[in-house]
Amino acid sequence: MTDQVNWTQYDPGRPSGHYESFYLRGNHPDRPLAFWLRYTIFSPAGRPADALGELWAVLFDGESGAHVTAKVEVPYAECLFSPTSFDVRVAGAVLDRATVRGNAGSLSWDLRYAGTESPLYLLPKGLYRGGFPKAKSLVPLPGARFAGGIDAAGRHLDIDGWRGSQNHNWGSRHTDRYAFGQVAGFDNAPDSFLEVATVRTRVGPVWTPETTLLVLRHQGREYALTSLRRAVRATARVGTASWTFATGDGSVRVEGRVEAPASAFVVLDYPNPPGGMKYCLNTKLARCELTLTDRASGTREVLTSAHGTLFEVLGDTRPAI
């Protein structure tokens, strides 16, 4: 059953438009270094014959500030995205349940990864079926550990014990606006995992309320604050390079701040299946401070990640960094 969360959702015969991504991210356990590898389907609405396979790669280097980015596009007919197994191939690059290897531009990678955690769902499970919301996301493998090597612009990095995750998202259109964060191991809680998003979208001419969904796994417990009623009641403030949020229920409250300097980001252009472009301010080197108050036990903990946080902000305007 776990493998099924990585089965491709795309139907090549459907003209409505589709995007779908399988991506992996990993962070050095101590240094501000991270990678992001993304295997993607893009099918424009009304033109399924023009569908593409996309291969994206970024090496984030917070020590030099010189990030390396690459993207390759090939016709979808030359790719494999299996609907009945976890088997993805784009432009000669391969992704399955244990390996990820390929090359794009000045980046190449040959990695193995593994983990024992169960999939993490950011949406209530019933919403992964049907047409609402238009964009869906889950984490088939939180807490992944990576080993192997990456070559970036003539530089070789040995990957040994880098922490991260393997992720899957899809939909008929991108969320109109979002802030998205993920921590795969805090500095003072290396086995804990956070996934959080603040989103707004349009339904026709009307904007939906801002909603914040959050799942935290910590010390053997999962705090899933993902019901739509709870998400609407949460509070958040999204800036260009910072984000604060707070949510909770009768037994727990979670407050967080995510931020990064402008030098930590790259800007990625995401074509939208219905048309137009979305712009993603993207880093894997952000700082996160999370305060967990467990009202039932009367405990309060502060979890921190100095530079191991995935942080993305998506919108309609290309940000200047």
**252-291 pLDDT tens trace:** 999 999 999 999 999 999 999 999 999 999 999 999 999 9
Q: Smallest Cα–Cα separation from 93: which of 29, 161, 37?
A: 37
CA dist 2 and 86 (Å) reads: 10
Q: What is the pLDDT of residue 2?
A: 55
Return all residues near 19 (Cβ < 8 A) that are at least 6 apart. 40, 41, 42, 43, 170, 171, 173, 174, 270, 272, 273
For residue 126, being part of any structural domain is answered with: yes
Number of domains in the chain: 1
Residue 204, sorted as left (phi over 0), alpha (psi -120 to 50) or beta, turns out to be: left
For residue 321, being part of any structural domain is answered with: no
Kindly state the helix (H) or strand (E) to which residue 142 belongs, with its residue range: strand 135-152
Q: What is the pLDDT of residue 321?
A: 74
Q: Write the burial class of residue 282 (CB in 10 Å: 0-12 exposed, 13-18 middle, 19+ buried).
A: buried
Side-chain-side CA neighbours of 250 within 13 Å: the count stands at 0
Q: What is the pLDDT of residue 297?
A: 84
**Cα 226 vs. chain centroid, distance in angstroms?**
17
**196-251 pLDDT tens trace:** 999 998 888 888 889 999 999 999 999 999 999 999 999 999 998 999 999 999 89
Domain that holds residue 106: 2-315
Residue stretches of the chain with pLDDT short of 50: 1
Q: What is the pLDDT of residue 14?
A: 86
Say if residues 193 and 120 touch (Cβ distance below 8 Å).
Answer: yes
Q: Smallest Cα–Cα separation from 196: which of 175, 218, 180?
A: 180
pTM: 0.96
For residue 167, being part of any structural domain is answered with: yes
Residues forming a β-bridge with 264: none
Q: What is the pLDDT of residue 205?
A: 84
CATH code of residue 13: 2.40.370.10
User: How are the residues of the chain apportioned to helix, strand and coil, as percentages rounded to the nearest 5?
Assistant: 5, 60, 30
Q: What is the pLDDT of residue 10?
A: 96
For residue 9, being part of any structural domain is answered with: yes
